[in-house]
A and B are shown apart, each in its own frame.
Chain A
Amino acid sequence: MAFELELISPVEVAKGYVLAIQEYTLLSAQSLANFFRHPLYMGDMLQQADLIGVGSLPIVVLTGLSVGALLALNAASTLERFGSVTLIGQLVSLGMVTELGPLITGLMVAGRNASGMASELGSMVVTEQIDAMRALGTDPTKKLVTPRVGATAFMLFFLTIIADLLGEIGGYGVAHLLFGVDTNQYWTSVWQVLVFRDVFTGLIKPVLFGFIISTVGCYYGMSTRGGTQGVGRSTTQAVVAASVLILITDFFVTKLIFAIFGYR
Protein backbone atom coordinates (compact mmCIF):
# COMPACT_ATOMS: atom_id res chain seq x y z
CA MET A 1 0.00 0.00 0.00
CA ALA A 2 1.53 3.30 -1.07
CA PHE A 3 1.28 6.37 1.12
CA GLU A 4 1.18 9.77 -0.49
CA LEU A 5 2.58 12.75 1.36
CA GLU A 6 0.40 15.78 0.81
CA LEU A 7 2.19 19.09 1.25
CA ILE A 8 0.05 21.88 2.67
CA SER A 9 0.91 25.51 2.15
CA PRO A 10 1.86 27.40 5.38
CA VAL A 11 -0.60 30.11 4.32
CA GLU A 12 -3.42 27.56 4.29
CA VAL A 13 -2.39 26.31 7.72
CA ALA A 14 -2.34 29.87 9.08
CA LYS A 15 -5.74 30.55 7.51
CA GLY A 16 -7.07 27.41 9.15
CA TYR A 17 -5.91 28.56 12.59
CA VAL A 18 -7.35 32.04 12.13
CA LEU A 19 -10.66 30.55 11.02
CA ALA A 20 -10.70 28.22 14.03
CA ILE A 21 -10.06 31.14 16.41
CA GLN A 22 -12.80 33.14 14.72
CA GLU A 23 -15.29 30.27 14.97
CA TYR A 24 -14.36 29.59 18.60
CA THR A 25 -14.77 33.28 19.48
CA LEU A 26 -18.15 33.42 17.76
CA LEU A 27 -19.38 30.28 19.52
CA SER A 28 -18.18 31.59 22.91
CA ALA A 29 -19.83 34.98 22.39
CA GLN A 30 -23.04 33.34 21.22
CA SER A 31 -23.10 31.01 24.22
CA LEU A 32 -22.89 34.04 26.53
CA ALA A 33 -25.44 36.09 24.58
CA ASN A 34 -27.90 33.19 24.82
CA PHE A 35 -28.15 33.76 28.60
CA PHE A 36 -30.10 36.93 27.78
CA ARG A 37 -32.35 35.37 25.11
CA HIS A 38 -35.38 33.14 25.41
CA PRO A 39 -35.74 30.25 25.86
CA LEU A 40 -33.24 29.52 28.61
CA TYR A 41 -33.02 25.76 29.02
CA MET A 42 -32.91 25.55 32.81
CA GLY A 43 -33.73 21.82 32.84
CA ASP A 44 -30.78 21.05 30.57
CA MET A 45 -28.57 23.32 32.68
CA LEU A 46 -29.51 21.47 35.88
CA GLN A 47 -28.91 18.12 34.19
CA GLN A 48 -25.47 19.28 33.06
CA ALA A 49 -24.73 20.69 36.51
CA ASP A 50 -25.46 17.24 37.94
CA LEU A 51 -23.32 15.48 35.32
CA ILE A 52 -20.42 17.92 35.56
CA GLY A 53 -20.56 18.94 39.21
CA VAL A 54 -21.76 15.88 41.11
CA GLY A 55 -20.09 13.54 38.61
CA SER A 56 -16.70 15.21 39.07
CA LEU A 57 -16.91 15.25 42.88
CA PRO A 58 -15.01 11.95 43.51
CA ILE A 59 -11.96 12.96 41.43
CA VAL A 60 -11.95 16.47 42.90
CA VAL A 61 -12.10 15.07 46.45
CA LEU A 62 -9.26 12.65 45.79
CA THR A 63 -7.00 15.12 43.99
CA GLY A 64 -7.71 17.89 46.52
CA LEU A 65 -6.72 15.67 49.43
CA SER A 66 -3.63 14.32 47.67
CA VAL A 67 -2.35 17.69 46.47
CA GLY A 68 -2.82 19.28 49.92
CA ALA A 69 -1.02 16.40 51.59
CA LEU A 70 1.83 16.48 49.06
CA LEU A 71 2.17 20.24 49.39
CA ALA A 72 2.48 19.90 53.16
CA LEU A 73 4.93 17.04 52.86
CA ASN A 74 7.23 18.90 50.47
CA ALA A 75 7.00 22.21 52.33
CA ALA A 76 7.66 20.58 55.70
CA SER A 77 11.00 19.12 54.66
CA THR A 78 12.26 22.64 53.82
CA LEU A 79 10.57 24.46 56.71
CA GLU A 80 11.89 21.94 59.21
CA ARG A 81 15.47 23.02 58.43
CA PHE A 82 14.59 26.55 59.54
CA GLY A 83 12.57 25.42 62.53
CA SER A 84 9.43 26.90 60.98
CA VAL A 85 7.35 23.78 60.51
CA THR A 86 4.40 25.57 62.13
CA LEU A 87 4.14 27.66 58.96
CA ILE A 88 2.91 24.63 56.97
CA GLY A 89 -0.69 25.78 57.35
CA GLN A 90 0.11 29.14 55.73
CA LEU A 91 1.87 27.51 52.79
CA VAL A 92 -0.82 24.93 52.16
CA SER A 93 -3.59 27.51 52.50
CA LEU A 94 -2.01 30.05 50.15
CA GLY A 95 -0.93 27.41 47.64
CA MET A 96 -4.30 25.70 47.52
CA VAL A 97 -6.56 28.74 47.53
CA THR A 98 -4.72 30.94 45.06
CA GLU A 99 -3.18 28.43 42.70
CA LEU A 100 -3.40 24.69 43.08
CA GLY A 101 -7.07 24.38 44.02
CA PRO A 102 -8.42 26.14 40.91
CA LEU A 103 -5.70 24.74 38.63
CA ILE A 104 -5.93 21.08 39.63
CA THR A 105 -9.72 21.16 39.71
CA GLY A 106 -9.78 22.86 36.30
CA LEU A 107 -7.42 20.33 34.77
CA MET A 108 -9.30 17.38 36.26
CA VAL A 109 -12.67 18.66 35.07
CA ALA A 110 -11.14 19.46 31.66
CA GLY A 111 -9.92 15.88 31.34
CA ARG A 112 -13.29 14.51 32.34
CA ASN A 113 -15.79 16.93 30.84
CA ALA A 114 -14.17 18.71 27.87
CA SER A 115 -13.65 15.25 26.38
CA GLY A 116 -17.19 14.23 27.27
CA MET A 117 -18.70 17.31 25.66
CA ALA A 118 -16.55 16.98 22.52
CA SER A 119 -17.43 13.31 22.06
CA GLU A 120 -21.14 13.75 22.80
CA LEU A 121 -21.62 16.74 20.50
CA GLY A 122 -19.22 15.25 17.91
CA SER A 123 -21.31 12.07 17.75
CA MET A 124 -24.43 14.20 17.32
CA VAL A 125 -22.78 16.05 14.42
CA VAL A 126 -21.71 12.92 12.53
CA THR A 127 -25.10 11.26 12.96
CA GLU A 128 -26.87 14.43 11.70
CA GLN A 129 -28.58 14.99 15.06
CA ILE A 130 -27.35 18.59 15.16
CA ASP A 131 -28.76 19.17 11.66
CA ALA A 132 -31.99 17.52 12.79
CA MET A 133 -32.16 19.88 15.77
CA ARG A 134 -31.65 22.90 13.51
CA ALA A 135 -34.23 21.48 11.09
CA LEU A 136 -36.70 21.21 13.97
CA GLY A 137 -36.29 24.94 14.56
CA THR A 138 -34.08 24.73 17.66
CA ASP A 139 -30.78 26.56 17.99
CA PRO A 140 -28.14 23.97 19.04
CA THR A 141 -25.97 26.63 20.69
CA LYS A 142 -28.93 27.58 22.90
CA LYS A 143 -30.02 24.03 23.67
CA LEU A 144 -26.63 22.32 23.92
CA VAL A 145 -23.79 24.84 24.36
CA THR A 146 -25.18 27.49 26.72
CA PRO A 147 -26.42 25.01 29.37
CA ARG A 148 -22.98 23.36 29.40
CA VAL A 149 -21.19 26.71 29.70
CA GLY A 150 -23.41 27.89 32.54
CA ALA A 151 -23.28 24.58 34.39
CA THR A 152 -19.49 24.16 34.11
CA ALA A 153 -18.65 27.71 35.24
CA PHE A 154 -21.12 27.48 38.13
CA MET A 155 -20.13 24.02 39.32
CA LEU A 156 -16.38 24.54 38.93
CA PHE A 157 -16.66 27.46 41.35
CA PHE A 158 -18.05 25.15 44.06
CA LEU A 159 -15.84 22.21 43.15
CA THR A 160 -12.80 24.47 43.63
CA ILE A 161 -14.00 25.51 47.09
CA ILE A 162 -14.36 21.81 47.98
CA ALA A 163 -10.89 21.06 46.55
CA ASP A 164 -9.40 23.97 48.56
CA LEU A 165 -10.97 22.73 51.78
CA LEU A 166 -9.93 19.14 51.19
CA GLY A 167 -6.40 20.24 50.30
CA GLU A 168 -6.18 22.00 53.63
CA ILE A 169 -7.53 18.90 55.38
CA GLY A 170 -4.93 16.78 53.55
CA GLY A 171 -2.21 19.24 54.60
CA TYR A 172 -3.48 19.12 58.16
CA GLY A 173 -3.25 15.32 58.17
CA VAL A 174 0.41 15.42 57.17
CA ALA A 175 1.30 18.40 59.39
CA HIS A 176 -0.38 16.95 62.48
CA LEU A 177 0.34 13.26 62.11
CA LEU A 178 3.85 13.37 60.66
CA PHE A 179 5.25 16.65 61.97
CA GLY A 180 3.23 17.10 65.15
CA VAL A 181 1.82 20.52 64.31
CA ASP A 182 -0.91 21.53 66.79
CA THR A 183 -4.46 21.42 65.36
CA ASN A 184 -5.40 24.89 66.58
CA GLN A 185 -2.15 26.39 65.36
CA TYR A 186 -2.54 24.85 61.91
CA TRP A 187 -6.11 26.00 61.31
CA THR A 188 -5.44 29.47 62.74
CA SER A 189 -2.54 29.98 60.35
CA VAL A 190 -4.62 28.59 57.46
CA TRP A 191 -7.31 31.16 58.16
CA GLN A 192 -5.15 34.14 59.10
CA VAL A 193 -2.82 34.09 56.12
CA LEU A 194 -5.63 34.62 53.60
CA VAL A 195 -6.54 38.14 52.53
CA PHE A 196 -9.29 39.33 50.17
CA ARG A 197 -6.99 39.25 47.14
CA ASP A 198 -6.19 35.56 47.67
CA VAL A 199 -9.81 34.53 47.97
CA PHE A 200 -10.77 36.70 44.99
CA THR A 201 -7.98 35.16 42.88
CA GLY A 202 -9.01 31.67 43.91
CA LEU A 203 -12.66 32.20 43.09
CA ILE A 204 -12.40 34.14 39.83
CA LYS A 205 -10.16 31.52 38.24
CA PRO A 206 -12.60 28.57 38.36
CA VAL A 207 -15.30 30.65 36.66
CA LEU A 208 -12.89 31.46 33.82
CA PHE A 209 -11.60 27.89 33.67
CA GLY A 210 -15.16 26.57 33.58
CA PHE A 211 -15.92 28.85 30.65
CA ILE A 212 -12.78 27.66 28.84
CA ILE A 213 -13.47 23.95 29.46
CA SER A 214 -17.06 24.10 28.23
CA THR A 215 -16.53 26.36 25.23
CA VAL A 216 -13.47 24.42 24.04
CA GLY A 217 -15.25 21.07 24.54
CA CYS A 218 -18.34 22.30 22.70
CA TYR A 219 -16.33 23.97 19.94
CA TYR A 220 -14.39 20.80 19.14
CA GLY A 221 -17.59 18.75 19.35
CA MET A 222 -19.57 21.05 17.07
CA SER A 223 -16.75 21.26 14.51
CA THR A 224 -16.24 17.49 14.29
CA ARG A 225 -15.76 16.14 10.78
CA GLY A 226 -15.05 12.66 9.48
CA GLY A 227 -17.15 10.06 11.29
CA THR A 228 -16.13 8.15 14.39
CA GLN A 229 -12.43 8.81 13.76
CA GLY A 230 -13.24 12.51 13.76
CA VAL A 231 -15.04 12.15 17.10
CA GLY A 232 -11.93 10.56 18.62
CA ARG A 233 -9.74 13.34 17.21
CA SER A 234 -12.04 16.05 18.55
CA THR A 235 -12.07 14.46 22.00
CA THR A 236 -8.29 14.41 22.26
CA GLN A 237 -7.88 17.91 20.85
CA ALA A 238 -10.49 19.28 23.26
CA VAL A 239 -8.63 17.99 26.34
CA VAL A 240 -5.26 19.20 25.11
CA ALA A 241 -6.53 22.64 24.06
CA ALA A 242 -8.56 23.15 27.25
CA SER A 243 -5.62 22.15 29.48
CA VAL A 244 -3.15 24.40 27.66
CA LEU A 245 -5.59 27.32 27.65
CA ILE A 246 -6.21 26.87 31.39
CA LEU A 247 -2.47 27.02 32.14
CA ILE A 248 -1.95 30.10 29.94
CA THR A 249 -5.02 31.87 31.36
CA ASP A 250 -3.90 31.03 34.90
CA PHE A 251 -0.59 32.81 34.33
CA PHE A 252 -2.17 35.94 32.88
CA VAL A 253 -4.95 36.13 35.47
CA THR A 254 -2.41 35.83 38.29
CA LYS A 255 -0.25 38.51 36.66
CA LEU A 256 -3.26 40.78 36.18
CA ILE A 257 -4.36 40.41 39.79
CA PHE A 258 -0.84 41.18 40.97
CA ALA A 259 -0.88 44.27 38.75
CA ILE A 260 -4.23 45.41 40.18
CA PHE A 261 -3.74 44.56 43.87
CA GLY A 262 0.07 44.66 44.05
CA TYR A 263 2.39 41.91 45.30
CA ARG A 264 2.01 40.62 48.84
Chain B
Amino acid sequence: MPAPSLPSGNPAAAVVSPSGYAIEFDKVAIAFDENVVLDGVSFQLPHGETKALFGVAGSGKSTLLKLAMGLLRPDSGRIFVLGEEVTRMSEQELFQLRRRVGIVFQEGALFDSLKVYENVAFRLMEERISAAEVERRVREVLRFVELEETYDMFPSELSGGMRRRVAIARAIVTEPEVLLYDSPTGGLDPVTSNTIVELIVKQRDVYKTSALMVTHRLQDAFTMATHQFDKATNQMVVLPKGRHCDVPMSFLILRDGKVIFDGDGHELATSRDEYIREYIS
Protein backbone atom coordinates (compact mmCIF):
# COMPACT_ATOMS: atom_id res chain seq x y z
CA MET B 1 0.00 0.00 0.00
CA PRO B 2 1.50 3.37 -0.94
CA ALA B 3 2.13 5.67 1.97
CA PRO B 4 0.48 9.08 2.19
CA SER B 5 2.20 12.03 0.58
CA LEU B 6 4.98 13.83 2.39
CA PRO B 7 4.32 16.99 4.38
CA SER B 8 5.91 20.18 3.22
CA GLY B 9 7.13 21.15 6.70
CA ASN B 10 10.79 20.99 7.64
CA PRO B 11 11.70 17.84 9.51
CA ALA B 12 12.84 18.60 13.04
CA ALA B 13 16.51 17.92 13.44
CA ALA B 14 17.38 15.72 16.41
CA VAL B 15 18.50 17.98 19.25
CA VAL B 16 21.45 16.76 21.28
CA SER B 17 20.92 17.12 24.99
CA PRO B 18 23.72 17.51 27.58
CA SER B 19 23.29 13.91 28.78
CA GLY B 20 23.90 12.60 25.28
CA TYR B 21 20.72 10.54 25.27
CA ALA B 22 17.16 11.32 24.36
CA ILE B 23 15.96 9.14 27.24
CA GLU B 24 17.94 7.54 30.04
CA PHE B 25 16.63 5.30 32.83
CA ASP B 26 18.95 4.74 35.78
CA LYS B 27 18.00 1.96 38.21
CA VAL B 28 14.32 2.88 38.12
CA ALA B 29 11.94 0.99 40.38
CA ILE B 30 8.21 1.34 40.95
CA ALA B 31 5.65 -0.76 42.77
CA PHE B 32 1.88 -0.48 43.13
CA ASP B 33 1.05 -1.65 46.64
CA GLU B 34 2.77 -5.05 46.91
CA ASN B 35 3.14 -5.50 43.16
CA VAL B 36 6.67 -4.64 41.98
CA VAL B 37 6.33 -3.52 38.36
CA LEU B 38 9.81 -2.23 37.56
CA ASP B 39 12.83 -3.26 39.58
CA GLY B 40 16.07 -1.42 38.83
CA VAL B 41 15.47 -0.79 35.15
CA SER B 42 18.36 0.94 33.34
CA PHE B 43 18.70 1.69 29.63
CA GLN B 44 19.49 4.53 27.24
CA LEU B 45 17.81 5.73 24.08
CA PRO B 46 20.39 7.61 21.96
CA HIS B 47 19.26 10.54 19.83
CA GLY B 48 17.75 9.55 16.52
CA GLU B 49 17.33 5.91 17.51
CA THR B 50 14.10 3.92 17.63
CA LYS B 51 13.82 1.37 20.41
CA ALA B 52 11.11 -1.29 20.46
CA LEU B 53 10.11 -2.36 23.94
CA PHE B 54 8.71 -5.86 24.48
CA GLY B 55 7.35 -7.78 27.40
CA VAL B 56 4.38 -9.90 28.35
CA ALA B 57 1.16 -8.23 29.54
CA GLY B 58 1.66 -6.59 32.93
CA SER B 59 5.44 -6.41 32.58
CA GLY B 60 5.40 -2.62 33.05
CA LYS B 61 5.81 -1.45 29.44
CA SER B 62 3.11 1.25 29.60
CA THR B 63 4.23 2.21 33.12
CA LEU B 64 7.72 2.79 31.73
CA LEU B 65 6.37 5.25 29.14
CA LYS B 66 4.30 7.08 31.76
CA LEU B 67 7.41 7.35 33.93
CA ALA B 68 9.33 8.83 31.02
CA MET B 69 6.59 11.46 30.58
CA GLY B 70 6.55 12.20 34.31
CA LEU B 71 2.92 11.08 34.51
CA LEU B 72 4.03 8.66 37.25
CA ARG B 73 6.83 9.07 39.80
CA PRO B 74 9.24 6.17 40.44
CA ASP B 75 9.87 4.89 43.96
CA SER B 76 13.61 5.06 43.29
CA GLY B 77 16.06 5.70 40.47
CA ARG B 78 16.52 8.57 38.03
CA ILE B 79 15.00 9.32 34.63
CA PHE B 80 16.45 11.79 32.13
CA VAL B 81 14.51 13.02 29.11
CA LEU B 82 16.27 15.35 26.67
CA GLY B 83 18.93 15.93 29.30
CA GLU B 84 16.51 17.00 32.02
CA GLU B 85 15.97 14.94 35.14
CA VAL B 86 12.26 14.19 35.09
CA THR B 87 12.33 12.66 38.56
CA ARG B 88 13.36 15.98 40.15
CA MET B 89 10.99 18.25 38.25
CA SER B 90 7.78 19.75 39.57
CA GLU B 91 4.53 19.22 37.66
CA GLN B 92 4.70 22.80 36.34
CA GLU B 93 8.25 22.25 35.02
CA LEU B 94 7.16 18.96 33.48
CA PHE B 95 4.45 20.74 31.46
CA GLN B 96 7.24 22.65 29.67
CA LEU B 97 9.27 19.50 28.98
CA ARG B 98 6.24 17.53 27.77
CA ARG B 99 5.77 20.06 25.00
CA ARG B 100 8.97 18.67 23.46
CA VAL B 101 7.81 15.06 23.71
CA GLY B 102 4.98 13.38 21.81
CA ILE B 103 3.06 10.36 23.05
CA VAL B 104 0.57 8.04 21.38
CA PHE B 105 -1.56 6.31 24.01
CA GLN B 106 -2.71 2.70 23.80
CA GLU B 107 -6.28 3.51 22.76
CA GLY B 108 -5.43 6.90 21.26
CA ALA B 109 -6.87 8.84 24.22
CA LEU B 110 -8.44 11.41 21.91
CA PHE B 111 -10.64 14.04 23.56
CA ASP B 112 -14.06 12.66 22.68
CA SER B 113 -15.88 15.98 23.04
CA LEU B 114 -13.55 17.67 20.54
CA LYS B 115 -13.45 17.25 16.77
CA VAL B 116 -10.47 15.67 15.02
CA TYR B 117 -9.24 19.14 14.05
CA GLU B 118 -9.46 20.38 17.66
CA ASN B 119 -7.75 17.25 18.95
CA VAL B 120 -4.80 17.62 16.60
CA ALA B 121 -4.66 21.38 17.12
CA PHE B 122 -4.90 21.15 20.92
CA ARG B 123 -1.23 21.86 21.64
CA LEU B 124 -0.99 24.54 18.95
CA MET B 125 -4.05 26.37 20.29
CA GLU B 126 -2.60 26.23 23.80
CA GLU B 127 0.46 27.99 22.41
CA ARG B 128 -1.79 30.75 21.01
CA ILE B 129 -0.63 30.20 17.43
CA SER B 130 -2.69 32.07 14.82
CA ALA B 131 -5.80 30.29 13.51
CA ALA B 132 -4.51 30.27 9.91
CA GLU B 133 -1.19 28.71 10.93
CA VAL B 134 -2.97 26.15 13.13
CA GLU B 135 -5.23 25.14 10.25
CA ARG B 136 -2.29 24.85 7.85
CA ARG B 137 -0.32 22.62 10.21
CA VAL B 138 -3.30 20.48 11.19
CA ARG B 139 -4.24 19.89 7.55
CA GLU B 140 -0.62 19.08 6.73
CA VAL B 141 -0.27 16.53 9.49
CA LEU B 142 -3.68 14.99 8.77
CA ARG B 143 -2.57 14.63 5.15
CA PHE B 144 0.56 12.91 6.45
CA VAL B 145 -1.57 10.29 8.23
CA GLU B 146 -3.96 10.20 5.24
CA LEU B 147 -6.97 11.41 7.17
CA GLU B 148 -7.60 14.94 5.92
CA GLU B 149 -11.24 14.07 5.22
CA THR B 150 -11.84 13.47 8.95
CA TYR B 151 -11.03 17.11 9.79
CA ASP B 152 -14.56 17.95 11.02
CA MET B 153 -15.46 14.58 12.48
CA PHE B 154 -15.69 13.49 16.11
CA PRO B 155 -13.46 10.60 17.36
CA SER B 156 -16.56 8.46 17.93
CA GLU B 157 -17.21 8.55 14.16
CA LEU B 158 -13.81 7.01 13.38
CA SER B 159 -12.65 3.39 13.32
CA GLY B 160 -10.04 2.13 15.82
CA GLY B 161 -7.24 2.39 13.27
CA MET B 162 -8.26 5.90 12.23
CA ARG B 163 -8.33 7.02 15.87
CA ARG B 164 -4.80 5.67 16.30
CA ARG B 165 -3.66 7.61 13.21
CA VAL B 166 -5.26 10.81 14.52
CA ALA B 167 -3.44 10.20 17.81
CA ILE B 168 -0.16 9.95 15.85
CA ALA B 169 -1.04 13.18 14.04
CA ARG B 170 -1.69 14.89 17.39
CA ALA B 171 1.64 13.64 18.74
CA ILE B 172 3.72 14.81 15.76
CA VAL B 173 2.00 18.11 14.94
CA THR B 174 4.41 20.04 17.17
CA GLU B 175 7.42 18.20 15.70
CA PRO B 176 8.56 16.73 19.04
CA GLU B 177 12.15 15.71 19.73
CA VAL B 178 11.12 12.35 21.19
CA LEU B 179 8.11 10.16 20.42
CA LEU B 180 6.64 7.52 22.70
CA TYR B 181 4.26 4.93 21.26
CA ASP B 182 2.19 2.80 23.64
CA SER B 183 1.09 -0.31 21.71
CA PRO B 184 0.12 1.65 18.58
CA THR B 185 -1.14 -1.51 16.86
CA GLY B 186 -2.77 -3.12 19.89
CA GLY B 187 -6.25 -4.50 19.16
CA LEU B 188 -6.09 -3.73 15.44
CA ASP B 189 -6.49 -6.12 12.52
CA PRO B 190 -3.28 -7.07 10.58
CA VAL B 191 -4.02 -4.78 7.61
CA THR B 192 -4.67 -1.73 9.80
CA SER B 193 -1.66 -2.63 11.97
CA ASN B 194 0.50 -2.63 8.87
CA THR B 195 -0.78 0.83 7.91
CA ILE B 196 0.14 2.12 11.37
CA VAL B 197 3.61 0.52 11.23
CA GLU B 198 4.15 2.04 7.79
CA LEU B 199 3.19 5.42 9.20
CA ILE B 200 5.63 5.01 12.12
CA VAL B 201 8.41 3.99 9.69
CA LYS B 202 7.64 7.01 7.56
CA GLN B 203 7.69 9.29 10.59
CA ARG B 204 10.97 7.74 11.72
CA ASP B 205 12.71 8.05 8.36
CA VAL B 206 11.37 11.47 7.40
CA TYR B 207 11.70 13.28 10.73
CA LYS B 208 14.44 11.08 12.29
CA THR B 209 12.80 11.58 15.69
CA SER B 210 14.05 9.47 18.60
CA ALA B 211 11.30 7.02 19.53
CA LEU B 212 10.46 4.48 22.18
CA MET B 213 7.79 2.06 21.01
CA VAL B 214 6.01 -0.36 23.32
CA THR B 215 4.56 -3.28 21.43
CA HIS B 216 3.52 -6.84 22.00
CA ARG B 217 3.72 -7.64 18.28
CA LEU B 218 7.22 -8.79 17.38
CA GLN B 219 6.41 -8.68 13.67
CA ASP B 220 5.80 -4.91 13.90
CA ALA B 221 9.26 -4.30 15.29
CA PHE B 222 10.87 -6.65 12.78
CA THR B 223 9.04 -4.91 9.94
CA MET B 224 10.44 -1.64 11.20
CA ALA B 225 13.94 -3.09 11.38
CA THR B 226 13.83 -4.60 7.91
CA HIS B 227 12.04 -1.81 6.04
CA GLN B 228 12.77 1.76 5.15
CA PHE B 229 10.60 4.56 3.85
CA ASP B 230 11.42 5.40 0.26
CA LYS B 231 10.74 9.08 -0.41
CA ALA B 232 10.93 8.60 -4.18
CA THR B 233 8.14 6.05 -4.36
CA ASN B 234 6.42 7.34 -1.22
CA GLN B 235 6.26 3.79 0.09
CA MET B 236 7.78 1.54 2.72
CA VAL B 237 10.24 -0.83 1.00
CA VAL B 238 12.19 -3.88 2.16
CA LEU B 239 15.87 -3.22 2.83
CA PRO B 240 18.30 -5.27 0.72
CA LYS B 241 19.80 -8.20 2.66
CA GLY B 242 22.75 -7.13 4.79
CA ARG B 243 21.85 -3.44 4.62
CA HIS B 244 20.80 -1.63 7.75
CA CYS B 245 18.25 1.08 8.07
CA ASP B 246 19.58 4.69 8.12
CA VAL B 247 17.89 5.21 11.47
CA PRO B 248 19.27 2.87 14.16
CA MET B 249 16.77 0.41 15.56
CA SER B 250 17.18 -1.49 18.81
CA PHE B 251 15.16 -3.84 21.00
CA LEU B 252 14.58 -4.02 24.73
CA ILE B 253 12.84 -6.87 26.54
CA LEU B 254 11.37 -6.65 30.04
CA ARG B 255 10.75 -9.62 32.27
CA ASP B 256 9.67 -9.61 35.92
CA GLY B 257 10.39 -5.90 36.17
CA LYS B 258 13.95 -6.18 34.86
CA VAL B 259 15.63 -5.59 31.51
CA ILE B 260 16.73 -8.98 30.17
CA PHE B 261 17.78 -7.80 26.72
CA ASP B 262 18.91 -4.49 25.24
CA GLY B 263 20.55 -4.65 21.83
CA ASP B 264 20.11 -4.54 18.06
CA GLY B 265 18.24 -6.93 15.77
CA HIS B 266 21.26 -9.11 15.05
CA GLU B 267 22.01 -9.57 18.76
CA LEU B 268 18.37 -10.40 19.37
CA ALA B 269 18.25 -12.96 16.58
CA THR B 270 21.46 -14.66 17.80
CA SER B 271 20.64 -14.53 21.52
CA ARG B 272 21.18 -17.80 23.36
CA ASP B 273 18.87 -16.88 26.23
CA GLU B 274 16.17 -19.56 26.37
CA TYR B 275 13.36 -17.14 27.31
CA ILE B 276 14.31 -14.74 24.51
CA ARG B 277 14.55 -17.54 21.95
CA GLU B 278 11.13 -18.76 22.99
CA TYR B 279 9.77 -15.22 22.91
CA ILE B 280 10.94 -14.47 19.40
CA SER B 281 10.20 -17.88 17.93
> Which residues of A are at the interface with B, using a C-beta cutoff of 8 A?
39, 124, 127-129, 131-139
Structural contact, A132 and B98, CB atoms closer than 8 A: no
Structural contact, A132 and B95, CB atoms closer than 8 A: no
Segment among B17-25, B104-112, B249-257, B270-278 that sits at the interface with chain A: B104-112
Quick one: which of B107, B109, B126, B170 contacts A138, CB cutoff 8 A?
B126
Structural contact, B126 and A137, CB atoms closer than 8 A: yes
- How many angstroms from the CA of A127 to the CA of B96 in the assembled complex? 23
Q: Which residues of B are found within 8 Å of A39, using beta-carbon distances?
A: 126
User: Distance (Å) between the CB of B232 and the closest chain A CB?
Assistant: 34
> Which residues of B are at the interface with A, using a C-beta cutoff of 8 A?
66, 69, 71, 91-92, 94-96, 98-99, 101, 103, 105-107, 109-112, 122-123, 126, 170
- How many angstroms from the CA of A39 to the CA of B128 in the assembled complex? 10
Quick one: which of B66, B98, B106, B107 contacts A136, CB cutoff 8 A?
B98
User: Distance (Å) between the CB of B185 and the closest chain A CB?
Assistant: 17
Quick one: which of A131, A137, A139 contacts B105, CB cutoff 8 A?
A131
Structural contact, B107 and A127, CB atoms closer than 8 A: yes
Quick one: which of B95, B105, B126, B170 contacts A128, CB cutoff 8 A?
B105
- How many angstroms from the CA of A133 to the CA of B123 in the assembled complex? 9
User: Distance (Å) between the CB of A118 and the closest chain B CB?
Assistant: 16
Q: Which residues of B are found within 8 Å of A136, using beta-carbon distances?
A: 98-99, 122-123, 126, 170
Quick one: which of A128, A135, A137, A138 contacts B106, CB cutoff 8 A?
A128
Q: Which residues of B are found within 8 Å of A134, using beta-carbon distances?
A: 69, 71, 94-95, 98
Structural contact, A135 and B112, CB atoms closer than 8 A: no
Structural contact, A129 and B112, CB atoms closer than 8 A: yes
* Known contacts A131-B66, A134-B71: A139-B107 contact under CB 8 Å: no
Q: Which residues of B are found within 8 Å of A129, using beta-carbon distances?
A: 109-112
| 16 A-B residue pairings within 8 Å (CB atoms) | A127-B107, A127-B109, A129-B111, A131-B66, A131-B71, A134-B69, A134-B94, A135-B69, A135-B71, A135-B105, A136-B123, A137-B95, A137-B99, A138-B122, A138-B126, A139-B92
> Which 4 A/B pairs are nearest by Cβ-Cβ distance?
A132-B109, A128-B109, A137-B99, A137-B98
Q: Which residue of A lies closest to B92 (CB)?
A: A139
- How many angstroms from the CA of A127 to the CA of B101 in the assembled complex? 20
Q: Which residues of A are found within 8 Å of B123, using beta-carbon distances?
A: 136-138
User: Distance (Å) between the CB of B117 and the closest chain A CB?
Assistant: 15
Q: Which residues of B are found within 8 Å of A132, using beta-carbon distances?
A: 103, 105, 109-111
**Which of B101, B107, B126 has the most chain A CB within a 10 Å cutoff?**
B126
* Known contacts A135-B103, A136-B122, A136-B123: A127-B69 contact under CB 8 Å: no
Q: Which residue of B lies closest to A141 (CB)?
A: B91
- How many angstroms from the CA of A142 to the CA of B110 in the assembled complex? 19
- How many angstroms from the CA of A145 to the CA of B180 in the assembled complex? 27
Structural contact, A137 and B109, CB atoms closer than 8 A: no
Q: Which residues of A are found within 8 Å of B110, using beta-carbon distances?
A: 129, 132
User: Distance (Å) between the CB of B169 and the closest chain A CB?
Assistant: 13
Q: Which residues of A are found within 8 Å of B106, using beta-carbon distances?
A: 128
Q: Which residues of A are found within 8 Å of B96, using beta-carbon distances?
A: 137
Q: Which residues of A are found within 8 Å of B105, using beta-carbon distances?
A: 128, 131-132, 135
**Which of A124, A131, A135 has the most chain B CB within a 10 Å cutoff?**
A135
* Known contacts A135-B71, A137-B126, A138-B126: A128-B98 contact under CB 8 Å: no
Q: Which residue of A lies closest to B167 (CB)?
A: A132
- How many angstroms from the CA of A133 to the CA of B106 in the assembled complex? 15
Q: Which residues of B are found within 8 Å of A137, using beta-carbon distances?
A: 95-96, 98-99, 123, 126
